[in-house]
């Protein structure tokens, strides 16, 4: 198995929205805001080569929206996903699977390209995977979350016949997160606080277990339990999911891989007098 961190650029989001009820005097030390109160965040994907399968986890924001849309998010240092993969001698045609944690625009935007006014899959030979729960929500979103689901990112997945839905069995536990298997070496935690049916891929390399954190923990700065985004649909559920996950990560020495941290790719966690915190931060390549 091989793993590669894929950087597709950065964008900006409101700092208060990203840290919820945490005061700016605290979060501004973690990710300093600009004069408009916007913080910079990464758009970091993960390439997993497992046998004959080449799996890309999430696809960044893409570039097909209009200027008005991008004005809100100020994408910069942008790298086309195809160019980012090319640095590892991987072509878009080589990708066999696209595993989408959820369907918010900054996670699925790069899955579909716009060429001559036509919406086409960015990975023509790939199967696109998303949880059935998340797909149903994206088609029938609540009023608060609707702006995050863009039809040009979502509908072409189904129309091209390349979409596969992952069924999520009924599950209820107060002591562990639900976990389902995607492949022999990749399982996924199922979490619902940020959005229903979000998947956190958990990659077992044989030596390390690496968890792609998506929006449960967007950055190292979100490890403290109360640091929950204002974007989360069910923040109290996020609190519980964070606690369950972090205890699991501590017990099993997981490596956390951050999709949105602008500085840190990975960390381990440790128990401190303040609770579970980052033990150290490092690049993914340092442990592979």
Chain-centre distance for alpha carbon 231: 14
Those residues of the chain that have pLDDT short of 50 are none
Domain housing 109: 2-287
Residue whose token pair is 């944690």: 101
- Inter-residue long-range contacts of 86-93, CB under 8 Å, 24+ positions, other chains counted: 88/4, 88/47, 90/47, 90/54, 92/122, 92/123, 92/124, 93/123, 93/124, 93/125
Q: Domain count of the chain? A: 1
The token duo for 140 is: 């029938």
CA atoms within 13 A on the CB side of 151: 2
Return the CATH number at 197: 3.60.15.10
**Given this model, what pLDDT does residue 232 score?**
98
pTM for the structure as a whole: 0.97
**Given this model, what pLDDT does residue 184 score?**
94
pLDDT digits (tens, 9 = 90+) for 190-204: 999 999 999 999 999
Cα–Cα distance list, 202 to 184, 229, 240 (Å) = 11, 22, 19
């Amino acid at each position: 198995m091989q793993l590669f961190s894929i950087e597709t650029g950065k964008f900006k989001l409101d700092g208060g929205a990203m840290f919820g009820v945490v005061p700016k005097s605290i979060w501004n030390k973690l990710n300093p805001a600009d004069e408009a109160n916007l913080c910079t965040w990464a758009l970091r994907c993960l390439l997993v080569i497992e046998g004959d399968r080449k799996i890309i986890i999430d696809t960044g924001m893409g570039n097909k929206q209009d200027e008005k849309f991008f004005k809100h998010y100020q994408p910069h240092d942008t790298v086309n996903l195809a160019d980012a993969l090319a640095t590892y001698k991987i072509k878009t045609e080589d990708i066999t699977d696209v595993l989408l944690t959820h369907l918010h625009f900054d996670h699925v935007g790069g899955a579909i390209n716009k060429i001559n006014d036509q919406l086409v899959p960015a990975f023509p030979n790939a199967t696109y995977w998303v949880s059935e729960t998340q797909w149903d929500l994206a088609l029938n979103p609540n009023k608060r979350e609707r702006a995050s689901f863009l039809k040009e990112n979502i509908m072409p997945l189904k129309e091209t016949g390349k979409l596969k839905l992952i069924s999520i069995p009924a599950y209820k536990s107060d002591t562990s997160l639900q976990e389902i298997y995607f492949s022999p070496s990749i399982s996924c935690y199922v979490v619902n606080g940020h959005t229903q049916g979000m998947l956190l891929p958990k990659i077992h390399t044989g030596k390390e277990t690496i968890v792609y954190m998506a929006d449960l923990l967007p950055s190292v700065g979100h490890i403290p339990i109360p640091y929950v985004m204002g974007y989360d649909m069910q923040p109290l559920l996020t609190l519980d999911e964070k606690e369950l996950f972090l205890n699991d990560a501590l017990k099993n020495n997981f490596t956390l891989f951050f999709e949105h941290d602008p500085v840190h790719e990975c960390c381990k966690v440790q128990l401190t007098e303040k609770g579970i915190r980052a033990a150290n931060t490092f690049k993914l390549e340092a442990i592979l």
